[in-house]
């Protein structure tokens, strides 16, 4: 592939924003239809009451909460890649972090719908927010659900700001390289960025700080989500490993989703030379690690249940792989703890088709993981006589599928209208152009060249 | 048992009401649908304050006294009348649901006349005139008039015989559930043509041969109370109570043990025992020798051979009977008897005679309700006559022959032949399409009347509300008709008949009181106590029973055992959503009448719960849903009555199967009653159906949910073992441990701390409390479709667990009523994001409906799963909404609800107390469930007060708190564990 | 950077980093210190011209964090005391539970503060400098020396000597060759 230069990067970035093909709009239409179905079903539910779901007593949470946790999980990869890897100075993040951040935000936006969706009285849902009312009615800050609200809204806000900060220099590029309406918009968005020394100074400082803030945040968010369950007293929920277990799960699903998006995207948008097999390979390696952690958590859960000598715990854990929801359990185990291990084989890391399939399987597996945790525990708790089971209703199914429509719609609109590869940061990874020789001069440049050689 | 003794205040209250009640129907002219809280209250009505009317429950022949709670002139709840010697303040689930019959949306508003099946609505006057004219017109030679009614007592009995006489009509008082064989047996043995009253309180050992004491037998509430007093561990006597029957019913479930015997083997059994006991009995020698002459052949070996019950068990039972000072053998519900029905009853009565219980606990001269019924033979004759065209006019009063006669075809044929069929009925029933005239009848709560089923008590029935439309009480229709036949009558309406009768009564009893005061007093007291005349002396008039003891030849096909269930009885309660949705205590099935098949038989036929099967009996066939019953006999299949109605209202129609259709009208040659245990049936799987049940898993998985202690341990004061399986050590019992284990300082309850105690040794699982709660707290019924996803709304449920699955005595059914436990450390509270669920200063776990946003986290986190979410908008069709209790919010969709310990009742009494500035009396507050419990298993009170019942009982050695040892939730509800009395340890 | 109407100066655009940096040093050496540099990327070699002082953004982050922590503490503790309702038998003010809102709000406020600080100190949103050229966001480094009209020629010459790709005066009299 031809050597990359600042100019070529700019060119490629602009390339991605060229007027799309007709198929693009076709896909957009389909996704729009899905969104429509999503909101139609929701409206129906609001009108009819929660009775249109498959929920009941004792299973009060089902598809909605499962899907909420799923999407929040998806969100985590973005922050992981953009913040944590930034702090770890992992070079391979640069060309993919923008898209992963976008995934974070869109996933969160989608996830945010679900608490509202599952609420019995949506119209008074605002009671849960800490707002001053004349009767001084405040939410109960002991409730994990209130933690949820705070954590998720914080997470969304922070990621959004992080995202914008990162975008500004690229907005400037677009501003300087487009005309007409687009130029006007970009001029506004770039907010007069011109890359002066002073701007770079504060920018870099702020950017690092953001990474530093986002990192503990991302850990906390999924911990809090896990506490929705761990703070209860139900067998199979009330356990201390949930926080790390959920965080790992979240990252796994996030990585998988990013792969699922990148692999087709780099092909369609001809970004093979920017998002190289090397980048995806590194993600695959990352996936192995996380998957192993998740698998470990599965095993440890069983150890705890056995070691506790607590018959309630023991029952639920023997029920999961054998009971009514056994299929869920086994899908979960195979997709999350077994399939990713294929990445140990180098061929699987290099063959993008295999990688793509595995990434999809992980997504499926992670959804079922949450379903397994939520539904099986609720349907079999303390008093056997009150046990019951749950079946997803068509409304819930529609909303589940619709949420994917919503998510991918946002992603597709993004990649065609905003710089989905971080031009500026990629430039930083290149060797700066020099007169005498284009040999690397600074330590950083040397480092990166080495790493490139090692990979390829 | 006496709940709250009637103090002066309450008595005066009822009395005053008794007075106004007479006026009430007259003074409110507006139809009941338009009764709101008044701007200017009518006389005797204070908005917001309940009026209590005393009346009589007419949902079964027991005739329990009731207090009707009315608000703003609108009846909203029934409670047992404390002054009634029958139910002593308690009420069964049917009685609780009677209020829904009053507001039944399918009631006839107007009379209808015309072609059968195509009647048109008309005015009462026209209708009466029409009937009168047709009666006059149709008097043709040979043909006569007939009157088919339910059982009648006291004044109404006099009235109907009077009317029948006037019209030269044949009057038949028939009920499908009756004791004609027992009546016949009494006649044969002792010369009393009546059904005796059975008094359990005069026994110290009870051998129950198939009497379903808590469901339909003679007087369920009364017997439940009596048995509790004698048998409950909480009470002193703790007498033995053994059940022998082919079906393990509710009664058997709470007996010391249930010994399964072959169907229709009670006679042999009784004779065998009689033979054993004869020598030890206190009879004079010549009677003994007389009996001995023919009793000898009935040796235990022979009996054991024919009954399928081990000889040594029989021996032990006879020993127990001998040991007892006042033994009593209960005669069966006659749905358990075969073609030798009266013979079997004779045998049992004879056994009682030998035991000396006849005249003591089995008493005659009581003119009980059942004594005054005509046997099925009369109906058969009537139908025959009808078919032969000998009946010109048939007036049917509140009965449904097409439904409740086995051979519906025959009934239809007869009715079609009869030129004029007049049906007086509250709402449509299966007979309606065959009536030329339909006259809308009032509900018992809209009618005058009196009722007597025992010598020492006549209860009074008064209207508490005006009929919503053109309904009249049947007696008034008859009077109206005969007046339009221009017959001279002494009275304008039935109220005057009643008055006249009571004047007579007053003349006999005390002259020095004015007849109105006399009547008022009776009304206020719920009835009239008559001085108790001595039981008549009983002699054995027949020394020998000719009893063909035929061994039932082995046959693959099981016997069909049709029985009146506690919910549906004979079907009269079927159109009440509450009844349809309250789970049957044993099958836990709702909105259906499942066919109960033993696990053994089901395994053989490869049936599972919820399969649809074609059931073919002698009389016909039907399709039903299978319910597999652990521990049931393999040669008996039980099927409840009351299902399979087609046009009897929106809730009854299409629910379950009509058991009668499997039978043929087979009559007991001697007693003339219907033989109900008459056919073996064949079962063929018809496919997969769905079982409408609220049951999850009926086994406890070894969890300490319904622990029990053996009698000998209990007597030593040893409490239940709360250890979990899997080595989780049980914590030392009680609150001390909880405090010790608590991470936080415990919270103070400055004044009150409300709590409840449930004595599981007294709980029979009868489910009256469930309905009382539903009536009191505006709990919606959700209908069959919502049952599958588990959307039933009951705040209180009776969990039925099958325990001791491997015991030789068979699986034991253990019941535990579960309502909100109002935990001190309530798991539901901290998880609520908006404080909709929090803890009050007096220890209640409060739920703020309009703060709730419906996250359902509280329900998930409730280990007792007592929280109920409003999944949809609930409906109270037609007038049913008039029953709603104005003191309780009707919950909107999307909010969580649950048991509040009837907070409205608590606050009412607290306000009353503070208004009279005094402290609450201990146990002054009575919750709906506690109030209605026939056995007094439920107690409520202030745990802060050492003198309250609950605080004492909560310290009982049998007390345990559900799951508390594991979860440390500190419930405010304590359970006193069941006491296992297996009288035959060798065998058990 | 407000821009005076009569402001004038010279812009030099460089394709290569080394010559660019060289140029800056020479400009400095010649005693011109009124200049801005533009770069499409953040390169460590440029840090020399960013001033010794560390960015004050860090301070504002800290302030935001503290504000969030204290705010959360007050919100949680005080709001429960208004009604003090017991839930689950736990203390009214249950510190362990309140740590979570505390943490989240700390992060939130810190992030917001950082965000605003970056904008404030980087002078965003603002107008583009007179010396700015679109290529400076693409592939060229640029220096804009503010000076008087007399010295323009001299500086231009200086920059061209230092292998400036192209050079032009502000206000412009000619378009730079591309």
Q: What are the C-alpha distances in Å from A117 to residues A114, A373, B87? A: 5, 20, 51
Distance from CA of C91 to the nearest CA of B (A): 7
The answer to whether B826 faces chain C, any CB pair under 8 Å, is: yes
Q: Which chains touch A (3 or more CB pairs under 8 A)?
A: B, C
**Does the distance separating the beta carbons of C87 and B835 come in below 8 Å?**
yes
Element at B197 (helix H, strand E): strand B197-198
Non-local CB neighbours of B301 within 8 Å, separated by 6+ positions: B311
DSSP E strands: which ranges in A264-394?
none
pLDDT above 60: residue B728: no
Chain C environment of B971 (Cβ under 8 Å): none
Of A216, A23, A34, the C-alpha closest to A110 is: A34
- pLDDT band for B488, please (50, 70, 90 cuts): confident
Residue pLDDT, tens place only, A291-303: 999 999 999 999 9
- Reading phi first (left if > 0) and then psi (alpha if -120 to 50, else beta), residue B805 is in alpha
DSSP E strands: which ranges in B246-291?
257-260
Length of chain C: 178
Non-local CB neighbours of B514 within 8 Å, separated by 6+ positions: none
The answer to whether A142 faces chain B, any CB pair under 8 Å, is: yes
CB contacts under 8 A, B 648-707 vs A, are 695-703, 705
- Give the per-residue pLDDT at B30: 39
Element at B974 (helix H, strand E): strand B973-976
Average pLDDT over residues B728-748: 58
Q: Are C167 and C12 in contact, with CB atoms under 8 Å apart?
A: yes
Of A6, A67, A48, the C-alpha closest to A402 is: A67
Distance from CA of C150 to the nearest CA of A (A): 26
How many Cβ pairs within 8 Å bridge chains B and C? 40
pLDDT above 80: residue B746: no
Average pLDDT over residues B495-507: 90
Residue pLDDT, tens place only, A346-369: 998 889 999 999 999 999 999 999
Specify burial of residue B806 (Cβ count, 10 A radius: 0-12, 13-18, 19+).
exposed
Residue pLDDT, tens place only, B660-705: 999 999 999 888 999 999 999 999 999 999 899 999 999 999 899 9
Collapsing DSSP states into helix, strand and coil, what is residue B584? coil
CA atoms within 13 A on the CB side of B734: 9
Query: How many whole angstroms separate alpha carbon B464 and alpha carbon B22?
Result: 9
**Does the distance separating the beta carbons of C90 and B838 come in below 8 Å?**
no
**Does the distance separating the beta carbons of A444 and C44 come in below 8 Å?**
yes
First to last CA, chain A: 13
Residue pLDDT, tens place only, A152-168: 999 999 999 999 999 99
Query: How many whole angstroms separate alpha carbon A356 and alpha carbon B365?
Result: 91
Q: What is the DSSP letter of C143?
A: E
Mutate: best of B692, B696, B821, B961, partner A, most A CBs <10 A = B696
Could you give the ipTM of this predicted complex? 0.91
Of A61, A143, A233, the CB nearest to B856: A61
Task: Outline where A80-143 has alpha helix (H).
Answer: 85-87, 94-118
Residue pLDDT, tens place only, C11-34: 888 888 888 888 888 888 888 888
- Give the per-residue pLDDT at C150: 82
Of A150, A192, A204, the CB nearest to C105: A150
Chain C environment of B746 (Cβ under 8 Å): 89
- Give the per-residue pLDDT at B23: 36
**Does the distance separating the beta carbons of C85 and B839 come in below 8 Å?**
yes
What is the residue whose two structure tokens read 């559930």?
Answer: B177
Mean pLDDT for all residues in chain B: 89
Q: Which chains touch C (3 or more CB pairs under 8 A)?
A: A, B
- pLDDT band for C164, please (50, 70, 90 cuts): confident
State the Cα angle at B739 between B736 and B744, rounded to 5°: 175
- Give the per-residue pLDDT at B734: 47
Residue pLDDT, tens place only, B190-205: 999 999 999 999 999 9
Query: How many whole angstroms separate alpha carbon B640 and alpha carbon B564?
Result: 6
Distance from CA of B967 to the nearest CA of A (A): 8
Specify burial of residue A414 (Cβ count, 10 A radius: 0-12, 13-18, 19+).
middle
Mean pLDDT for all residues in chain A: 89
CA torsion angle for C167, C172, C173, C177 (degrees, to 10)? 40
* Residue C89: alpha-carbon gap to chain centroid: 52
Of A165, A192, A214, the CB nearest to C127: A192
Average pLDDT over residues C56-74: 95
Phi/psi at B65 (5° precision): -80, 140
DSSP count for chain A of H helices, then E strands: 18, 0
Chain A environment of B864 (Cβ under 8 Å): 382-383, 386
pLDDT above 90: residue A8: no
pLDDT above 60: residue B730: no
Distance from CA of C121 to the nearest CA of A (A): 7
pLDDT above 90: residue B397: yes
**Does the distance separating the beta carbons of C79 and A147 come in below 8 Å?**
no
Query: What percent of chain B is predicted at pLDDT more than 70?
Result: 92
Q: Are B227 and B90 in contact, with CB atoms under 8 Å apart?
A: no
Query: How many whole angstroms separate alpha carbon B696 and alpha carbon B694?
Result: 7
CB contacts under 8 A, B 882-941 vs A, are 892-896
Q: Are A430 and A6 in contact, with CB atoms under 8 Å apart?
A: yes
Average pLDDT over residues C137-142: 87
Average pLDDT over residues B301-310: 89
Average pLDDT over residues B435-447: 95
Query: How many whole angstroms separate alpha carbon A414 and alpha carbon A101?
Result: 11
- Reading phi first (left if > 0) and then psi (alpha if -120 to 50, else beta), residue C41 is in beta
Range scoring the smallest mean pLDDT among B215-219, B467-471, B715-719, C26-30: C26-30
Helix, strand, coil percentages (3-state) for chain C, rounded to 5, are 50, 10, 35
- pLDDT band for B6, please (50, 70, 90 cuts): very low
What is the residue whose two structure tokens read 């045998």?
Answer: B347
CB contacts under 8 A, B 950-969 vs C, are none
Q: Which chains touch B (3 or more CB pairs under 8 A)?
A: A, C
- Give the per-residue pLDDT at B551: 57
The answer to whether A121 faces chain B, any CB pair under 8 Å, is: yes
* Residue B700: alpha-carbon gap to chain centroid: 28
Beta strands B595-598 and B621-629, pairing class: parallel
The answer to whether B805 faces chain A, any CB pair under 8 Å, is: no
């Amino acid at each position: 592939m031809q050597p990359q230069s600042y100019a070529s990067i700019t060119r490629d970035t602009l390339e991605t924003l060229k007027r799309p093909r007709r198929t693009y709009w076709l896909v957009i239409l389909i996704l729009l239809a899905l969104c429509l179905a999503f909101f139609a079903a929701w409206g129906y539910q609001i009108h009819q009451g929660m009775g249109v779901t498959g929920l009941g007593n004792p299973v009060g949470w089902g598809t909605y909460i499962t899907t909420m946790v799923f999407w929040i999980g998806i969100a985590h990869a973005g922050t992981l890649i953009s913040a944590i890897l930034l702090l770890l100075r992992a070079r391979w993040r640069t060309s993919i972090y923008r898209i992963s951040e976008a995934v974070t935000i869109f996933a969160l936006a989608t996830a945010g719908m679900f608490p509202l969706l599952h609420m019995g009285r949506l119209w008074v849902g605002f009671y849960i927010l800490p707002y001053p009312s004349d009767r001084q009615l405040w939410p109960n800050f002991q409730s994990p659900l209130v933690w949820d609200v705070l954590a998720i809204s914080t997470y969304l806000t922070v990621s959004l700001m992080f995202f914008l900060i990162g975008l500004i220099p690229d907005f400037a590029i677009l501003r300087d390289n487009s005309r007409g309406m687009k130029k006007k918009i970009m001029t506004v968005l770039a907010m007069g960025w011109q890359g002066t020394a002073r701007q770079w100074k504060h920018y870099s400082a702020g950017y690092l700080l953001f990474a530093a803030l986002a990192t503990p945040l991302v850990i906390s968010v999924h911990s809090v989500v896990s506490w929705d369950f761990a703070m209860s007293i139900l067998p199979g929920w009330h356990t201390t490993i949930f926080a790390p277990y959920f965080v790992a799960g979240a990252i796994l699903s996030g990585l998988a989703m990013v792969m699922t998006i990148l692999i087709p995207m780099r092909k369609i948008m001809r970004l093979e030379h920017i998002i190289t097999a090397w980048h995806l390979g590194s993600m695959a390696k990352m996936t192995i690690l996380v998957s192993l952690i998740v698998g470990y958590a599965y095993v440890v859960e069983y150890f705890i249940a056995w070691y506790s000598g607590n018959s309630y715990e023991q029952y639920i854990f023997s029920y999961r792989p054998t009971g009514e929801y056994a299929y869920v359990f086994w899908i979960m185990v195979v997709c999350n703890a077994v399939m990713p291990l294929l990445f140990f084989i180098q061929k699987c890391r290099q063959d993008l088709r295999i990688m793509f399939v595995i990434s999809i399987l992980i997504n499926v597996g992670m959804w079922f993981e949450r379903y397994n945790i939520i539904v099986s525990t609720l349907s079999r708790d303390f008093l056997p006589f009150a046990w019951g089971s749950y079946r997803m209703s068509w409304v819930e199914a529609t909303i589940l599928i619709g949420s994917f429509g919503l998510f991918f719609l946002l992603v597709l609109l993004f990649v065609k209208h905003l710089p989905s590869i971080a031009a500026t940061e990629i430039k930083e990874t290149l060797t700066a152009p020099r007169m005498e020789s284009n040999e690397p001069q600074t330590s950083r440049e040397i480092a990166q060249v080495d790493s490139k050689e090692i990979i390829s | 048992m006496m709940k709250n003794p009637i103090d002066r205040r309450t008595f005066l209250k009822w009395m005053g009401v008794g007075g106004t009640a007479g006026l009430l129907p007259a003074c409110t002219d507006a139809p009941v649908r338009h009764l709101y809280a008044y701007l200017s209250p009518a006389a005797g009505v204070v908005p917001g304050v309940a009026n209590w009317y005393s009346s009589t429950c007419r949902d079964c022949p027991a005739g329990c006294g009731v207090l009707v709670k009315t608000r703003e002139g609108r009846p909203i709840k029934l409670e047992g009348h404390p002054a009634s010697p029958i139910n002593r303040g308690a009420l069964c689930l049917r009685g609780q649901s009677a209020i829904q019959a009053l507001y039944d949306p399918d009631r006839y508003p107007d009379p209808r006349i015309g072609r059968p099946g195509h009647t048109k609505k008309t005015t009462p006057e026209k209708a009466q005139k029409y009937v009168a004219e047709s009666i006059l017109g149709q008097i043709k030679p040979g043909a006569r008039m007939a009157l088919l009614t339910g059982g009648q007592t006291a004044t109404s009995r006099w009235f109907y015989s009077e009317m029948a006489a006037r019209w030269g009509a044949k009057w038949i008082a028939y009920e499908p559930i009756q004791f004609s064989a027992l009546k016949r047996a009494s006649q044969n043995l002792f010369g009393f043509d009546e059904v005796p009253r059975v008094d359990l309180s005069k026994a110290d050992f009870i051998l129950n041969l198939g009497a379903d004491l808590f469901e339909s037998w003679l007087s369920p509430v009364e017997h439940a109370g009596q048995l509790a007093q004698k048998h409950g561990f909480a009470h002193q006597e703790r007498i033995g109570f053994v059940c022998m029957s082919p079906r393990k019913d509710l009664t058997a479930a709470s007996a010391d043990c249930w010994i399964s015997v072959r169907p229709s083997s009670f006679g042999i059994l009784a004779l065998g025992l009689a033979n054993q006991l004869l020598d030890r009995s206190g009879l004079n020698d010549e009677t003994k020798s007389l009996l001995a002459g023919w009793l000898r052949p009935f040796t235990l070996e022979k009996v054991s051979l024919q009954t399928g019950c081990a000889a040594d068990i029989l021996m032990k039972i006879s020993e127990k009977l001998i040991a007892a000072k006042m033994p009593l053998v209960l005669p069966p519900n006659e749905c358990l008897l075969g073609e030798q029905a009266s013979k079997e009853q004779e045998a049992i009565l004879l056994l009682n005679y030998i035991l000396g219980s006849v005249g003591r606990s089995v008493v005659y001269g009581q003119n009980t309700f059942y004594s005054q019924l005509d046997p099925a033979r009369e109906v058969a004759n009537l139908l025959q006559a009808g078919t032969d065209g000998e009946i010109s006019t048939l007036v049917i009063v509140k009965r449904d022959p097409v439904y409740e006669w086995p051979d519906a075809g025959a009934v239809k044929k007869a009715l079609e032949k009869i030129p004029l069929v007049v049906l007086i009925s509250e709402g449509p029933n299966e007979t309606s399409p065959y009536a030329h005239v339909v006259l809308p009848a009032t509900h018992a709560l809209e009618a005058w009347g009196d009722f007597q089923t025992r010598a020492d008590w006549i209860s009074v029935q008064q209207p508490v509300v005006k009929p919503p439309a053109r309904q009249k009480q049947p007696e008034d229709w008859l009077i109206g008709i005969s007046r339009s036949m221009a017959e001279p009558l002494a009275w304008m309406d039935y109220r005057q008949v009643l008055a006249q009768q009571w004047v007579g009564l007053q003349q006999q009893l005390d002259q020095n009181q004015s007849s109105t005061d006399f009547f008022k007093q009776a009304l206020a007291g719920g009835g009239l106590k008559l001085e108790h005349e001595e039981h008549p002396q009983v002699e054995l008039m027949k020394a020998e029973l000719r009893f063909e003891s035929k061994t039932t030849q082995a046959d693959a096909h099981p016997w069909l055992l049709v029985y009146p269930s506690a919910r549906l009885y004979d079907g009269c309660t079927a159109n009440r959503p509450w009844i349809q949705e309250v789970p049957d205590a044993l099958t836990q099935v709702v909105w259906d009448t499942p066919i109960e098949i033993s696990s053994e038989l089901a395994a053989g036929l490869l049936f599972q719960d919820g399969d649809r099967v074609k059931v073919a009996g002698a009389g016909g066939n039907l399709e039903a849903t299978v319910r597999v019953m652990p521990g049931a006999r393999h040669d008996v299949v039980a099927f409840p009555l009351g299902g399979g109605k087609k046009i009897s209202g929106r809730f009854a129609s299409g629910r379950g199967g009509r058991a009668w259709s499997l039978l043929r009208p087979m009559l007991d040659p001697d007693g003339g009653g219907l033989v109900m245990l008459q056919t073996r049936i064949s079962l063929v799987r018809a496919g997969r159906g769905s079982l409408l049940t609220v049951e999850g898993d009926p086994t406890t998985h070894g969890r300490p949910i319904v622990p029990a202690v053996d009698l000998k341990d209990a007597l030593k004061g040893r409490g239940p073992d709360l250890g979990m399986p899997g080595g989780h050590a049980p914590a030392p019992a009680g609150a001390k441990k909880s405090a010790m284990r608590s991470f936080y300082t415990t919270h103070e309850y400055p004044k009150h701390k409300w709590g409840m105690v449930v004595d599981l040794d007294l709980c029979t699982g009868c489910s009256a409390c469930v309905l009382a709660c539903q009536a009191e707290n505006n709990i919606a019924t959700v209908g069959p479709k919502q049952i599958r996803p588990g959307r039933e709304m009951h705040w209180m449920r009776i969990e039925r667990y099958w325990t001791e699955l491997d015991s030789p005595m068979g699986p034991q059914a253990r019941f535990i009523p579960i309502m909100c436990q109002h935990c001190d450390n309530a798991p539901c509270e901290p998880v609520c994001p908006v404080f909709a669920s929090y803890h009050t200063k007096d220890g209640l776990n409060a739920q703020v409906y309009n703060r709730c946003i419906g996250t359902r986290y509280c329900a998930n986190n409730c280990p007792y799963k007592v929280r109920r979410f409003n999944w949809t908008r609930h409906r109270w069709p037609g007038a049913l909404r008039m029953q709603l209790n104005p003191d309780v919010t009707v919950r909107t969709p999307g909010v969580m609800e649950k048991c509040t310990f009837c907070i409205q009742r608590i606050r009412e009494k607290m306000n009353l107390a503070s208004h009279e500035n005094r402290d609450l009396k201990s146990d002054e507050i009575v919750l709906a469930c506690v109030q209605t419990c026939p056995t007094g298993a439920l107690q409520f009170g202030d745990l802060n007060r050492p003198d309250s019942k609950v605080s004492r009982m909560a310290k009982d050695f049998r007390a345990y708190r559900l799951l508390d040892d594991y979860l440390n939730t500190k419930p405010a509800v304590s359970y006193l564990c069941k006491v296992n009395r297996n009288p035959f340890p060798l065998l058990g | 950077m407000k821009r005076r109407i009569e402001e004038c100066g010279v812009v030099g655009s460089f394709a290569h980093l080394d010559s660019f940096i060289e140029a800056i040093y020479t400009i400095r050496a010649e005693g011109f210190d009124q200049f801005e540099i533009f770069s499409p990327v953040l390169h460590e070699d440029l840090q020399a011209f960013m001033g010794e002082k560390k960015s004050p953004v860090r301070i504002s982050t800290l302030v935001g964090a503290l504000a969030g922590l204290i705010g959360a503490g007050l919100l949680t503790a005080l709001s429960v005391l208004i009604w003090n309702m017991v839930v689950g038998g736990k203390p009214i003010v249950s510190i362990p539970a309140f740590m979570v809102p505390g943490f989240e709000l700390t992060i939130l406020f810190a992030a917001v503060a950082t965000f605003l600080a970056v904008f404030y100190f980087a002078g965003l949103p603002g107008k583009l400098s007179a010396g700015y050229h679109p290529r400076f966001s693409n592939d060229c480094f640029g220096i804009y020396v503010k000076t008087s009209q007399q010295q323009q020629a001299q500086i231009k010459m200086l920059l061209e000597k230092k292998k400036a790709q192209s050079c032009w005066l502000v206000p412009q009299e000619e378009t730079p060759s591309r």
